[in-house]
């Protein structure tokens, strides 16, 4: 039984593959892309259940991708998990909080990522 579909957007190949394996082991169906632009092009009219997005993507960054996803699919921001290795400032945390995004700090345990995705479905 699937927990739902997860869109994984991470530019580091090894980390993206690890995320996909962990999420699939956690019962999710995962699709993955190395860039925000590729992820957006793949979506069409169907929104994923959850999005896992690297904040520091080249080109369109993760924050801009969350905003674009929210524009295309109102309410999807509540189902986004932003992954970052950076220290987030209070204004950024407030913005993410208004969108309902969860944040997972790098480095992380894969169980944290799966748990954050499960929480994002609730």
In tens, the pLDDT along 79-93 reads 999 999 888 888 777
Q: Is 98 exposed, middle or buried (0-12, 13-18, 19+ CB in 10 A)?
A: exposed
Please give the C-alpha separations between residue 44 and each of 38, 41, 72, 111, in angstroms, as whole numbers: 11, 7, 10, 30
Do you know the residue count of the chain? 122
Question: What's the CATH fold of domain 4-121?
Answer: Rossmann fold (3.40.50)
Exposure letters 81-91 (e unless 16+ CB within 10 A, then b) = bbbbeeeeeee
Ramachandran angles phi, psi of 51, nearest 5°: -120, 130
Residue 70's pLDDT band (boundaries 50, 70, 90)? Answer: very high
Domain boundaries, the chain: 4-121
Q: Give the predicted TM-score (pTM) of the model.
A: 0.93
| Of 9 and 46, more confident | 9
Helical spans, DSSP H, in 35-122:
36-43, 62-72, 90-99, 110-121
> How far, in Å, CA of 58 to CA of 112, rounded?
24
Query: Is 71 exposed, middle or buried (CB count within 10 Å of its CB: 0-12, 13-18, 19+)?
Result: exposed
% of the chain exceeding 70 in pLDDT: 99
């Amino acid at each position: 039984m699937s927990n739902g579909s997860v869109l994984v957007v991470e530019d580091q190949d090894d980390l993206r593959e690890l995320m996909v394996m962990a999420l699939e082991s956690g019962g999710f169906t995962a699709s993955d892309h190395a860039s925000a632009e590729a992820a957006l092009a793949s979506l069409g009219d169907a929104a994923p259940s959850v999005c896992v997005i690297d904040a520091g993507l080249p080109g369109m960054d993760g924050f801009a991708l969350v905003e674009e996803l929210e524009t295309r699919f109102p309410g999807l921001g509540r189902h986004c998990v932003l992954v970052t290795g950076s220290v987030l400032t209070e204004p950024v945390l407030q913005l993410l909080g208004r969108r309902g995004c969860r944040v997972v700090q790098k480095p992380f345990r894969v169980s944290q990522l799966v748990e954050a995705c499960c929480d994002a479905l609730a």
